[in-house]
Amino acid sequence: MGLLNSLHFALAVLVTTTAAALAATEAQTKRGCNDTCGNVIIPYPFGTSKNCYYRDELLDFFLNCTTTTSPSSSGEATTTQLIWGENVEVVSISLDPPELTVSGDVTKQCNYSSDILFWNSMTFGEFSISSTKNRFTVVGCDTYAYFSDLNSTFRTGCSLSCSNETRFEEAGACSGVGCCQTSFPQAIRNYNITLYSFDNYTDVLDFNPCGYAFVAKEGSFNFSKRELRGLSNRTQFPVVVDWAVSNQTCREAKKDAKSYACKQNSRCKESVSGIGYYCVCEDGFRGNPYLDTGCKDINECDGDNHCNKKCHNIDGNYTCLCPWGFKGNGYKNGSGCKFPFTEISLGLLVIFTLVSILCWANKQRALKQLRRQYFEQNGGNYMLQQLHQQQGYTNRTKIFTEDELKIATNNFDESRILGHGGQGIVYKGILPDNSLVAIKKSRVGGDSRQVKDFINEVTVLSQINHRNVVKLFGCCLETEVPLLVYEFVDNGTLLDHIDPLKNEHSLSWETRLRIAAETAGAISYLHSSASIPIIHRDIKSTNILLDHNHIAKVSDFGASRLVPLNETQVSTVVQGTLGYLDPEYLLTGQLNEKSDVYSFGVVLLELITAKKPYEFLGLEQKNLATYFASSMEEGSLLEVIDKRVLNQKNAELLNEVAFLARRCIRVHGEERPTMKEVATELEGVIAMKKHPWVKGEDMMSKECECLLGHAAANTSVGYDGAYGNISANTFAAYESIQKQMAFEIVDGR
């Protein structure tokens, strides 16, 4: 086989030999024998001189190391080659796996050749070409080539045809267009390559003057269209050959100890080509298995191992020493190290068990003490005392555990927050029976007044059973802050529905009137129908909840007070919300039922005007109750009433409700009506709304004409579509309303 004459192949050899050099410490040869030839390392059983290679009747392990000198442009060039058999150049030798990498020639046929048939053959003695690491490759566009053994027991090959217009794959892909690769059977000890051209490359001469066929190590050739012009001037490719030390199987070879090639600390393996066997070092050893002392022990303690503390190397393995006082294998899992004294171990186990039990008992005692501390801190004893005094109501209030409420609120996740009240945060909860509840987490923090507010809400709600009052289900006191569980009302607060900034779709006047009547009825019930009169003390639009049918539910009883039956008022610290707070209560600190009447009157004003009860306008403060009263006295009520509910149908009803609200917000509590009177009047207004006189096309009865004036009966209500303002014709109709209101104010109605 010729010398290397391609730069590409020289680079491939350099990479291969460099890799072989890294394994030099493992690739040993016999003492006194050459272990290299040029850059190629020669391990035993191969050798280059007598007694340096393994002898077998059929297999040839002798290699010839030759050095040649040839002229070059820069002088003389010296080339060292390792030749095996019939002039086969060896590039590298591997013991495991047992492989030779040799140089294989490229079969080439060109347009300028007179012969239409070219061939090339190669033999490997008793060794075989690797069928898994080599590929038969054909390159060309007017080419036919086949691969066979010298005895022609099989044949495989490729036929290629293409033109300059053919679309070739990206570089590196030998996919059948201009380049074809195929595999061949195992145990092929020789081969012949035959190459043809169909038309002597006449039609493709401008880009493919020659055809090529060769066997090459897989991955050593990457095809691209430019290879059709000259195969990058390469004439050789690396070929992998499988070798074995005998044509026997391992079982057969072991019968003859004298000829058996595997030495100490090694084992036999069947050849990958299916012919013969080869040797490898046992696990824990490394080196040359064909030499008497070639497989040497690996010191596992120098690298990663599974020892817990101290590693001890032994032949082919290692052992782990146990810590002081223990014995066994000392592996990291500790399963091999055992304490030598059973009785001491048992004693330590008993001590450990006792300590664990004592720690557990102490922890349980601490938890129990902490829960009791929270129970007392949250007013549990006071609540039990209050509930005990209310016979018949105790069974209505359930004591929930903290775990139950954590599950119901997804551990009090922020996404479950419904709102922030004056006495705490309200979460949406789902009980195990899938019923929805609202859970209030009180802001107690050790403040005794807030604790009483919380307990007060529990005791107040536990005795209330009214359809327009939020129902209490129970509470939890074993947490740092107390928790209340009550009925879930799903449609927000009254303020959410009447505030123009929060809701574009306003409630109708009929719905507002009904909500007012339901709220008044609930407060009247608290004042006069509960077993012990209850003053809510914080009536406001945000404490009036609405369900999906807009049914009113009075909520938030944290500030409420029970009034003994023999008393009409209670002295207490002033508490309430700015804008709703009774001015008389604010001055005197004397709480009575008329304080709730005043707050409800402000809620009526919100329903009528859709304005906030208290606003800061720069440095100026605006109180809705004062503003409303002055508007009535000045005859400018129309400027205050919510234009979304004002029309000729509602004129009389608005008049009635406005006067009722005005009476509720009088400064002197004795001049205000009771909540029972307020509820009765609102029910009367609703009944008047349903009276036949106020139905029909006329919209106005004679009674309305007397109240509003004759002129109002002949006017119509109009609206400015762009701004929702009442038209000029409407002002004339409502002028009489204002005069009548002024009259009634003077009259003391």
- Judged against a pLDDT cut of 90, whether residue 601 lies above it is answered with yes
Angle between helices 651-664 and 728-747 (to 10 degrees): 40
In a domain, 709, yes or no: no
> Which of 437, 467, 487 is the endpoint of a domain?
487
Residues 84 and 59 in one domain: yes
Q: Which residues of 538-557 are buried (b: 16+ CB within 10 A; e: fewer)?
A: bbbbbbbbbeeebebbbbbb
> Which of 472, 487, 502 is the endpoint of a domain?
487
> Which of 465, 487, 509 is the endpoint of a domain?
487
Half-sphere exposure of 568 (CA within 13 A, CB side): 4
Residue 647 corresponds to which tokens in the numbers above? 């029309």
151 and 227 Cβ atoms separated by less than 8 Å: no
In a domain, 326, yes or no: no
CATH number of the domain that residue 283 is part of? 2.10.25
719: β partners: 726
In a domain, 233, yes or no: yes
Tokens 């009052």 locate to 469
Residues 113 and 48 in one domain: yes
10 Å CB burial of residue 342 (0-12, 13-18, 19+) is: exposed
Q: What is the 3-state secondary structure (H, E, C) of 638-697?
A: HHCCCCCCCCHHHHHHHHHHHHHHHHHCCCCHHHCCCHHHHHHHHHHHHHHHHCHHHCCC
Residue 330 corresponds to which tokens in the numbers above? 């000392």
In a domain, 373, yes or no: no
* Amino acid, single-letter form, for residue 573: V
- Judged against a pLDDT cut of 50, whether residue 725 lies above it is answered with no
Question: For residues 355 and 485, what is the distance between their CA atoms, to the nearest angstrom?
Answer: 41
Residues 430 and 515 in one domain: no
In a domain, 316, yes or no: no
In a domain, 310, yes or no: no
Mean pLDDT, rounded, of the chain: 80
How many domains are contained in the chain? 4
User: Distance of alpha carbon 17 from its chain centroid, rounded?
Assistant: 51
What is the pLDDT, as a whole number, of residue 289? 95
601 and 665 Cβ atoms separated by less than 8 Å: yes
What mean pLDDT comes out for the span 103-121?
84
Residues 181 and 284 in one domain: no
148: β partners: 155, 192
What is the pLDDT, as a whole number, of residue 715? 30
144: β partners: 159, 196
Residue spans of beta strands (DSSP E) within 124-209: 128-129, 134-139, 142-148, 155-161, 179-182, 190-197
265 and 38 Cβ atoms separated by less than 8 Å: no
- Active site residues per annotation: 538
In a domain, 72, yes or no: yes
For 650-653, the CB contacts below 8 A with 24+ separation are 650/509, 651/704, 651/708, 651/712, 651/733, 651/734, 651/737, 652/688, 652/694, 652/704, 652/707, 652/708, 653/509, 653/513, 653/685, 653/688, 653/689
| Of residues 106 and 336, more confidently modeled | 106
Percentage of the chain lying above the pLDDT 70 cut? 79
- Judged against a pLDDT cut of 70, whether residue 222 lies above it is answered with yes
Q: Which residues contact 642 (CB under 8 A, 6 or more apart)?
A: 498, 506, 608, 609, 610, 611
222 and 110 Cβ atoms separated by less than 8 Å: no
Residues 452 and 432 in one domain: yes
Question: For residues 567 and 535, what is the distance between their CA atoms, to the nearest angstrom?
Answer: 12
Question: For residues 265 and 747, what is the distance between their CA atoms, to the nearest angstrom?
Answer: 124
- Asked if residue 98 has a cis previous peptide bond (ω within 30° of 0), the answer is no
Residue 716 corresponds to which tokens in the numbers above? 């119509």
Residues 254 and 188 in one domain: no
pLDDT tens figures, 431-467: 999 999 999 887 655 566 666 666 776 777 777 888 9
Residues 195 and 291 in one domain: no
- Judged against a pLDDT cut of 90, whether residue 47 lies above it is answered with yes
Half-sphere exposure of 288 (CA within 13 A, CB side): 24
Range of the domain at 470: 378-487
For residue 434, the 8-state DSSP code is S
CATH number of the domain that residue 384 is part of? 3.30.200.20
Question: For residues 287 and 25, what is the distance between their CA atoms, to the nearest angstrom?
Answer: 8
| Of residues 363 and 749, more confidently modeled | 363
Residues 86 and 168 in one domain: yes
At 736, give phi and psi (nearest 5°).
Answer: -70, -30
* Amino acid, single-letter form, for residue 220: S
648 and 717 Cβ atoms separated by less than 8 Å: yes
End-to-end CA distance of the chain: 130
| Of residues 30 and 26, more confidently modeled | 30
What mean pLDDT comes out for the span 479-500?
87
pLDDT tens figures, 84-97: 888 899 999 999 89
Name the nearest CA neighbour of 229 among 197, 194, 195, 205: 205
Question: For residues 506 and 513, what is the distance between their CA atoms, to the nearest angstrom?
Answer: 13
Name the nearest CA neighbour of 741 among 661, 677, 680: 661
- Judged against a pLDDT cut of 90, whether residue 98 lies above it is answered with yes
Residues 12 and 154 in one domain: yes
- Judged against a pLDDT cut of 70, whether residue 394 lies above it is answered with no
Opening angle at CA 538, ends 547 and 580, nearest 5 = 105
In a domain, 747, yes or no: no
Opening angle at CA 367, ends 365 and 369, nearest 5 = 70
Question: For residues 631 and 394, what is the distance between their CA atoms, to the nearest angstrom?
Answer: 49
pLDDT tens figures, 621-670: 678 898 898 888 888 888 888 888 887 777 788 888 999 999 999 999 89
Residues 130 and 111 in one domain: yes
- Judged against a pLDDT cut of 70, whether residue 723 lies above it is answered with no
> What pTM did the predictor assign?
0.47
Q: Which helix (H) or strand (E) holds 66?
A: strand 63-72
Residues 283 and 201 in one domain: no
Question: For residues 656 and 219, what is the distance between their CA atoms, to the nearest angstrom?
Answer: 99
41 and 24 Cβ atoms separated by less than 8 Å: yes
Percentage of the chain lying above the pLDDT 90 cut? 33
Residue 524 corresponds to which tokens in the numbers above? 């009247």
Q: 689 falls in which pLDDT band (50, 70, 90)?
A: confident
SS3 714: coil
Name the CA dihedral angle for 125, 45, 132, 175, rounded to a multiple of 10 degrees. Answer: -80
Residues 257 and 384 in one domain: no
Name the nearest CA neighbour of 245 among 123, 96, 103: 96
116: β partners: none
